Structure 1
Amino acid sequence: MKKNNNSNHLFPISTCVCLSFLLHLISAADTYFPTDKILLNCGAAQESTDSDGRKWTGDVGSKFAPAAANTLTSTAATQDPSVPDVPYMTARVFRSEFTYSFPVASGRKFVRLYFYPASYNGLNASNALFSVTSGPYTLLKNFSVSQTAEALTYAFIIKEYSLNVENEILNVTFRPSSNASNSYAFINGIEVVSMPDIYSSANGALLVGLSSQFTIDNSTTLENVFRINVGGNYISPTGDPGLFRSWYDDSPYIFGAAFGVTDVANMTIQYPTDLPKYTAPVDVYATARTMGPDASINQNYNLTWIFSVDPGFYHLVRLHFCEIQSVINKVNQRVFQIFINNQTAEAAFDVVAWTQGNGIPTYKDYVVLPQKGNAQQDLWLALHPAIASKPNYYDAILNGVEIFKVSDSNGNLAGPNPIPPPKQAVVDPSLARSHTSGNSKNQAAVIAGGVIGGVVVSCLLCFFVFVVSRRRRQRKDSSASDGWLPLSLYGNSHSAGSAKTNTTGSYASSLPSNLCRHFSFAEIKAATNNFDEALLLGVGGFGKVYKGEIDGGSIKVAIKRGNPLSEQGVHEFQTEIEMLSKLRHRHLVSLIGYCEENCEMILVYDYMAHGTLREHLYKTQKPPLPWRQRLEICIGAARGLHYLHTGAKHTIIHRDVKTTNILLDEKWVAKVSDFGLSKTGPTLDHTHVSTVVKGSFGYLDPEYFRRQQLTEKSDVYSFGVVLFEILCARPALNPTLAKEQVSLAEWALHCQKKGILDQIIDPYLKGKIAPECFKKFAEIAEKCVADQGIDRPAMGDVLWHLEFALQLQESAEENGGLATCDMDAYETPFNGKCGGKKDPDASSGFEGNVTDSRSNGICHLPFRFSETNLLCLLLINSQGAAN
């Protein structure tokens, strides 16, 4: 009897164990665990860890690379700041054929090849010309890494392939080209990862433009050419566990100024049983790009992306969809057309009808016919509302895109090397018109002016601080006010807001060692010729900025050295390093490294040949920038800020956007700089970050000042001031003017509303701005400086309108519409045509005895200066330590 009782108890226990095991198997079915995962750091002797925390094995002495006398290992002679150390700083170089052999399980694999076009062992990077094969498949032929990187404007190249392995050995062979006598091959890293067969289709994929299907089977090899997280941020390999794919932001591929809007899911994403979670990460399906809320606009444009692809190959296009807006949960609410290369892929696609609900991911595969030609061709992807279906919402949605090149019948995937654009001579505006004095005199004048201006501002600040401190003591307030002047590269700055920080001691223990390059103090001294004053570029509150050279003079840099007496402290120093070392973007200044030896705080940046934007606007002997170039600079800076707000892992608020923090490289590409005040933005659960007010006089968001609540709209306000500064060529704040004229933002807003903004613009621009362009530019600048953040556009919308303004300008120039351009006929949205109407007290500010029309940029127009901005001048809240 006792035995029977024990048996009865054992049955439910064993049943529970089995059920638990089955549930574990069901859950595990959605998580892919690769049987093979190889990360080979070529040319390295030891194990190393990349920026994503993945461990790479060195190939020196490894079982994958046979010992051979025809190869050598090397370290890159130079390092672009945007290039990670692992796996790009070491390479294996081949003068003759060399094969890596990887013992793997049979089945499909991702094979990723990593290349960095640098000089290795003194070899010329342009002589690296080679082919790569794997079994019967030709992956690359006469491939030039340097030419490809130049054409695509990439610092490094990653080639990803999906191929089938049958005999449990994966061979990857490198063969220098026989077309050139000095050719060689090299590789920086090889990654091999098992993958499920997620891109094959038993029923085939639709051939766009035809009614037939295209089959992708085990004999087909694919090369991934684009993997895009539409409407979302970059997803690193670790954000796609198991398959380790990288998903990129879609904004660089959107055609024209019609960006649509980005959406984030307000619901839980539920994968259907027939769609494994490894198909695409949840972050792909949880974000999307739609056309926008205006049905009338949506019916008159296509939301379009353009991708450059190799001619002569079929291409597999996979589109990922998930309806993530809760209001759209029924059939025929959002129906749209899909066009690929001007061919109809779907005449009426309804995501809800396809998935039977919202919040449910899916995808559709299409194959595009080969395009003719020898150079790269454009693959167009466009969405448009299906008007004939009469949906509730005339809109379209897309969450992700993957594009693969399909191997031809011979197993070939090698296309031609892309052709770099013709190198145009960079016009130096300094050559456009003669100087009134020599360079040395100009530099002396600039330095003298900076010193005098600094003394005046310091006196004013001392007076203001004295008054404020006295009042605070009378109120028995125990908090203290500490002013500070953050340094912008190459330029002075007039900012306020940080509490004083102790700067003694060493800071190495507080800085992650793997963020960026660490320089010794001896290297810094050598780079600046022992801080030679002849190399001085600028002076600010943090210290001095010197021009320097590193790596044997091969790289020009700007070196910012902290002043031990400066009231800027370790917090700003660390913030700059931690922010910039994690951010890589064409329109953000690149931080190369830092030095903190001997209690020094030194930052090393890319050298910006044309200095700050402000240097080219006013109080300068430099020639004026053409309007079109100013627009391009605005667009570049907007792209950089848009990336900070939406493209990084977390929202980043710059907090100090101004013309001295927009730098110009040798090609006049705008780059946002100075991240010492930057702050991580609010999470999805919060609308703002509560923090001590910091920023620069004249650019500070009044709502942020009043409420001490920081959002990305604070950057939008500051950028609006920058737009007016670029248009009017005068300082954002000029205390020497009558009080009603001090604030450029408020005064320009007043002029815009009265329809006389054209009267205070830079005289150089008179007659050179297309009226429609001027109208669009003025409208977006006005919206940026709205008093309340909720009324300001997002930075993506600002970018959209600026690009549209540039198109209007280009169109007018092409049509010759500027020859008779009359700015007095500019029609404002407030008063109609200005009609030459003059404010009785209006003056451009360029009359009198001013010899250089750009020497002061002052306007003399009456307007009441608000108490808020006056308080910004007098007082910055300094509660607590630096935030």
Structure 2
Amino acid sequence: MMVYLMACASIMRTPEHFTCFLLLVSVIHAANYGPTDRIFLNCGANGEISDDDGRKWTSDMNASSSVGNSLASDAATQKPSVPTTPYMSARIFQSEFTYSFTVSSGRKFVRLYFYPADYAKHVAKLGVFSVDIGPYSLLRNFSAFETATNLNYDFFSKEYSVNTGSGGDLNVTFTPDPNTPDSYAFINGIEIVPHPDDIYSSKGFTLVGASGSFGIDNTTALENVYRLNVGGQTISASGDTGLFRRWGDDTPYIYGSAIGIPVAADQNVTISYPSGFPDYVAPVEVYKTARAMLPNPQANLGFNLSWYFDVDTGFTYLVRLHFCEIAPDKTKPNQRVFEILINNQTAEAAADVILWASESKVPVYKDYGVFLPLGSPRQDLWLALHPNTYMTPMDYNAILNGIEIFKVNTSGGNLAGSLPNPIPSQPIIDPSRVLPLSKSDHKGGIIGGSIGGGLAGIVFVSLVVCFLSHKGKRQKNQNSSDRTSNWLPLSLYGNSDATAKTYGSYAPSNLGRHFTFAEIKDATNNFDEDRLVGVGGFGKVYRGEIDGGTTKLAIKRGNSLSGQGVNEFRTELEMLSKLRHRHLVSLIGYCEENSEMILVYDYMAHGTLREHLYKTQNQPLTWKQRLDICIGAARGLHYLHTGAKHTIIHRDVKTTNILLDENWVAKVSDFGLSKTGPAMDHTHVSTVVKGSFGYLDPEYYRRQKLTEKSDVYSFGVVLFEILSARPALNLTLSKEQVSLAEWALHCHKKGILDEILDPYLRGKVSPECFTKVAEIAVKCLADEGIRRPSMGDVLWNLEFALQLQESAGEGSVEMENDETPLNGKSKDFNESVTDSTSITSQSLASVDSNGLTPSAVFSQIMNPNGR
């Protein structure tokens, strides 16, 4: 196929914007680097379409190929996480096929996009093939299906940097594997973006742990295997410097519980690129955020801040580390000096960012080469930072802003490697948030059913413990976090003015009652296992008693091995200490002594909503009880969205986070992932995806743009759970029924929604009430947030549905005076989608919240592009 690109018709250059018009491929984008021959091919599709980053993708339908035959096909199914562009159509090859692009000379990023689904008659598992670009072998016997399965992704992309020499054709060849019966090759999207020749080239990269150096020149091809914005949020392609690179979250790669803390520069801080340092090296957002060690110098001496990366052996790797000193009190050399270790070898004995950059707020990067001898197919590449004591710096600490890791081709032009190692299932979402676990006799209810993890969570924790143990044995010589945890009290996170100014105050302030550890031990009978009522990712939850047994508490004790740590602990404290509402769980206090992190709540006698719907020995809830509980939860969420001083998005609405007190009053719980909503002049919050499988808003999942409508989607799943008494995800069912949300929408479309009704409820729900609740739930599950109702409108319609049930003779409902429906009529849902002001403050039995500051939450997300 020949793709001819014309020169720019017009170029306008400002310090921040570059606009380039192409004849066939048009991209309008704020960028620092603006090449003229960008190509975005949506393979197998018709026409032109824009992706979530605003890039326009053109079809390859009418193009001719140099060699080979092909067919176009749409994917048989679209998983909720998968964006339409460029993943929902593909070009299929049953024999060798070559795309030929006419491009300018110089280096190019070539990105290949894969969604391993079934296409036409082609089964995903049989898609085994090779990919070559000119003399370089990019992929050999490559299975997109197995790659996605091992990584637990729905879709993914591969990025390469190759040089096209003096210009001409850039040929990309796909070849089905001849050794796999009925094999075929496929591609969903091809992106070609020129980049400066010198951005990754050098004649002398230092080889860590070996003598000599290696170079990267125009004959070298690279594969980017990791690119991370350390300590910051994911940066999408549109947020890069015109090269459309995606910078991911680093937390999934941090070893152990010693995660340090993320830090960020003040909004008014300006990052100054030095002379000779091109601003396209990395976006400014990379240098405005970082991950540092703890603000407690003595604690830092006991551990390394470490990351590990699964890579192929038999290759040399270029490791690029980005630094920028953004702490206001770090302005001189020898204030923060640290060691950099790569694969347990010293790369830098005395890294001093200020010394390298000459001043603060100035970025710098360092490149290192690492060779991994061929042995087992794959190996972990380790990166560790540790304070330098020999230089006696003012602060025993370390900092890192960004990581890029590239695989370098072998002398024969090979970049192809083996399949990535399988990782524990569901790495994108915190596994403790998938399925709750309660003891067989339950021992009463808990606040913690919400926090209680599930069998899947326990299996995952067991795997992690085994994994960390295995890692520890392999890294005996490493001064790492397998010996010393960073699970430290909030009070150790800095008391000095400088520390508070740098990291923000972590010291408790007006956060409820401060319990001593002795009081907690006494309340739980020294954490008696007979008082254990739940286990979750954060830790164990116990039933506690104080005041001579007259006051019952739920006590959540943090686990030092848990991935959920200081940030989630702090977020929960901040949120619940400033929120008061009848339908929000009440935080009593906390304990932080003896390196403990313990949260104390009101005791919820009837546990979680989920424990009364399925997989339980409890008596099934009546239909009226279910409606009352959903109305109460909706009131709590509506208060979060509109009644507090700032909009608060819960971000983890599900039946295990709806608790029931002794009077069956519903209370929303677990605010560890909550986020303060967008300012009035913004429509959303851009943030890394967090939540629970089965409840996750597909629009939020695809675009990483969070709004209160994400909670509405999750609540829609809850409504279908109370209708059907089945979990949001059931992997034992047929493929089309695994997801309750997808199955319910399918049944609604077919007009058979009544078939999913809980058998216990048959004959007990009036048809009018069932229709109204189903209508509410379906509207909540709209694919686009703008088409979903507000939580206030959901509340309005649920109250009306309850009236419909009562009028059908199901009995009366006792409601408090401040919780009566605002109107006896139901709103039309088409109207309610756009009118979010219909519920007034009269429906909120609330106390205003003080202002809340967003807090970063530790992420278990492996890759926001797919699960």
Q: TM-score, normalised by structure 2?
A: 0.54
Which residues of 2 match residues 216-255 of structure 1 at below 5 A?
216-255=216-255
Deviations 1:824-878 (A, max 9, x none): xxxxxxxxxxxxxxxxxxxxxxxxxxxxxxxxxxxxxxxxxxxxxxxxxxxxxxx
Cα separation, partners in 2 of 1:566 and 1:324, compared to 1, 3 Å: farther
8 Å CA contact 2:41, 2:190 repeated in 1:
yes
Deviations 1:397-443 (A, max 9, x none): 1000000000000111001123436999x9999999899xxx99978
Deviation at 1:568, TM superposition (A): 10
8 Å CA contact 1:31, 1:278 repeated in 2:
yes
The answer for the alignment partner of 1:331 in structure 2 is: 333
Deviation at 1:200, TM superposition (A): 3.9
Tell me which moved more, 174-183 or 400-409: 174-183
Distance 1:548 1:304 in 2: 35
The answer for the alignment partner of 2:197 in structure 1 is: 197
Distance 1:428 1:440 in 2: 14
SS at match of 2:163: strand
Distance 1:84 1:317 in 2: 30
Distance 2:630 2:37 in 1: 64
Cα separation, partners in 2 of 1:356 and 1:132, compared to 1, 3 Å: same
Pick aligned residue for 2:851 from 697, 709, 713: 709
The answer for the alignment partner of 1:168 in structure 2 is: 168
8 Å CA contact 2:132, 2:138 repeated in 1:
yes
Distance 2:75 2:351 in 1: 50
8 Å CA contact 1:515, 1:577 repeated in 2:
no
SS at match of 2:238: helix
The answer for the alignment partner of 1:379 in structure 2 is: 381
The answer for the alignment partner of 2:81 in structure 1 is: 82
Deviations 1:362-382 (A, max 9, x none): 100000012332322100000
8 Å CA contact 2:241, 2:279 repeated in 1:
no
The answer for the alignment partner of 2:722 in structure 1 is: 538
Q: Which has the higher contact order (CA 8 A, sep 6+)?
A: 2
Cα separation, partners in 2 of 1:74 and 1:567, compared to 1, 3 Å: closer
Deviation at 1:536, TM superposition (A): 6.8
Which residues of 2 match residues 133-172 of structure 1 at below 5 A?
133-166=132-165, 167-172=167-172
Query: Which is richer in helix?
Result: 1
CA RMSD of aligned residues (A): 5.2
Which residues of 2 match residues 86-101 of structure 1 at below 5 A?
86-101=85-100
Distance 1:491 1:25 in 2: 48
Give unpaired runs (5+ residues) of structure 1.
1-20, 462-485, 498-509, 519-534, 582-592, 604-675, 678-690, 698-703, 714-793, 801-883
The percent identity for this pair of structures is 44
Distance 2:841 2:854 in 1: 15
Distance 2:76 2:738 in 1: 11
Whichever residue aligns with residue 851 of structure 2, its letter is Q
Cα separation, partners in 2 of 1:595 and 1:289, compared to 1, 3 Å: closer
8 Å CA contact 1:487, 1:539 repeated in 2:
no
| 1:449 and 2:621 matched | yes
8 Å CA contact 1:36, 1:194 repeated in 2:
yes
Distance 1:552 1:87 in 2: 24
Deviation at 1:223, TM superposition (A): 0.2
Distance 2:185 2:88 in 1: 16
SS at match of 2:621: helix
Deviations 1:174-229 (A, max 9, x none): 01111112111000000001110244444411100124221110101000000000
Distance 2:389 2:409 in 1: 38
Whichever residue aligns with residue 301 of structure 1, its letter is F
| 1:369 and 2:368 matched | no
The answer for the alignment partner of 1:110 in structure 2 is: 109
Whichever residue aligns with residue 146 of structure 1, its letter is F
8 Å CA contact 2:90, 2:188 repeated in 1:
yes
Cα separation, partners in 2 of 1:284 and 1:442, compared to 1, 3 Å: closer
Cα separation, partners in 2 of 1:350 and 1:114, compared to 1, 3 Å: same
Distance 2:101 2:315 in 1: 28
Cα separation, partners in 2 of 1:190 and 1:455, compared to 1, 3 Å: closer
Distance 2:629 2:46 in 1: 56
Cα separation, partners in 2 of 1:22 and 1:380, compared to 1, 3 Å: same
Cα separation, partners in 2 of 1:390 and 1:421, compared to 1, 3 Å: closer
The answer for the alignment partner of 1:260 in structure 2 is: 260
Distance 1:321 1:286 in 2: 10
Cα separation, partners in 2 of 1:544 and 1:302, compared to 1, 3 Å: closer
The answer for the alignment partner of 2:50 in structure 1 is: 49
Deviation at 1:62, TM superposition (A): 2.6
Deviations 1:237-290 (A, max 9, x none): 000132000000000000000010111113210001111110000000010000
Cα separation, partners in 2 of 1:313 and 1:458, compared to 1, 3 Å: closer
Deviation at 1:580, TM superposition (A): 7.7
The answer for the alignment partner of 1:507 in structure 2 is: none
SS at match of 1:352: helix
8 Å CA contact 1:490, 1:538 repeated in 2:
no
Distance 1:119 1:414 in 2: 24
Distance 1:99 1:160 in 2: 18
Whichever residue aligns with residue 98 of structure 1, its letter is F
Deviations 1:142-182 (A, max 9, x none): 11111111111111121100000024210000011111121
Cα separation, partners in 2 of 1:445 and 1:549, compared to 1, 3 Å: closer
Distance 1:67 1:554 in 2: 42
Whichever residue aligns with residue 420 of structure 2, its letter is P
8 Å CA contact 1:43, 1:73 repeated in 2:
yes
8 Å CA contact 2:206, 2:212 repeated in 1:
yes
8 Å CA contact 1:489, 1:545 repeated in 2:
no
Whichever residue aligns with residue 707 of structure 1, its letter is S
The answer for the alignment partner of 2:552 in structure 1 is: none
8 Å CA contact 1:374, 1:416 repeated in 2:
no
Deviation at 1:556, TM superposition (A): 3.8
Deviation at 1:516, TM superposition (A): 9.1
Tell me which moved more, 208-217 or 243-252: 208-217
Distance 1:35 1:154 in 2: 33
Which residues of 2 match residues 766-845 of structure 1 at below 5 A?
795-796=857-858
Distance 2:331 2:363 in 1: 13
Which residues of 2 match residues 273-352 of structure 1 at below 5 A?
273-352=275-354
Deviation at 1:548, TM superposition (A): 13
Give unpaired runs (5+ residues) of structure 2.
1-10, 20-30, 443-610, 634-651, 660-664, 669-682, 685-696, 703-718, 754-767, 798-831, 834-839, 862-867
8 Å CA contact 1:320, 1:400 repeated in 2:
yes
8 Å CA contact 2:321, 2:366 repeated in 1:
yes
Whichever residue aligns with residue 118 of structure 1, its letter is A
Whichever residue aligns with residue 269 of structure 1, its letter is I
Deviation at 1:709, TM superposition (A): 3.4
8 Å CA contact 2:223, 2:408 repeated in 1:
yes
8 Å CA contact 2:109, 2:195 repeated in 1:
yes
Which residues of 2 match residues 598-637 of structure 1 at below 5 A?
none
Distance 1:159 1:117 in 2: 13
Distance 1:429 1:333 in 2: 47
Whichever residue aligns with residue 94 of structure 1, its letter is F
Cα separation, partners in 2 of 1:93 and 1:551, compared to 1, 3 Å: farther
Distance 2:57 2:392 in 1: 55
Whichever residue aligns with residue 449 of structure 1, its letter is L
Deviation at 1:594, TM superposition (A): 7.8
Pairs aligned (count): 533
The answer for the alignment partner of 2:569 in structure 1 is: none
Deviations 1:699-740 (A, max 9, x none): xxxxx9453534457xxxxxxxxxxxxxxxxxxxxxxxxxxx
Deviation at 1:32, TM superposition (A): 1.0
Cα separation, partners in 2 of 1:577 and 1:452, compared to 1, 3 Å: closer
Deviation at 1:444, TM superposition (A): 11
Distance 2:627 2:699 in 1: 37
Which residues of 2 match residues 523-562 of structure 1 at below 5 A?
537-539=721-723, 553=736, 556-558=739-741, 559=744
Distance 1:282 1:295 in 2: 28
The answer for the alignment partner of 2:416 in structure 1 is: 414
| 1:39 and 2:43 matched | no
Cα separation, partners in 2 of 1:85 and 1:336, compared to 1, 3 Å: same
Of the two, which has the highest radius of gyration?
1
Distance 1:455 1:555 in 2: 25
8 Å CA contact 1:491, 1:538 repeated in 2:
no
Which residues of 2 match residues 723-742 of structure 1 at below 5 A?
none
Distance 1:459 1:201 in 2: 61
8 Å CA contact 2:311, 2:420 repeated in 1:
no
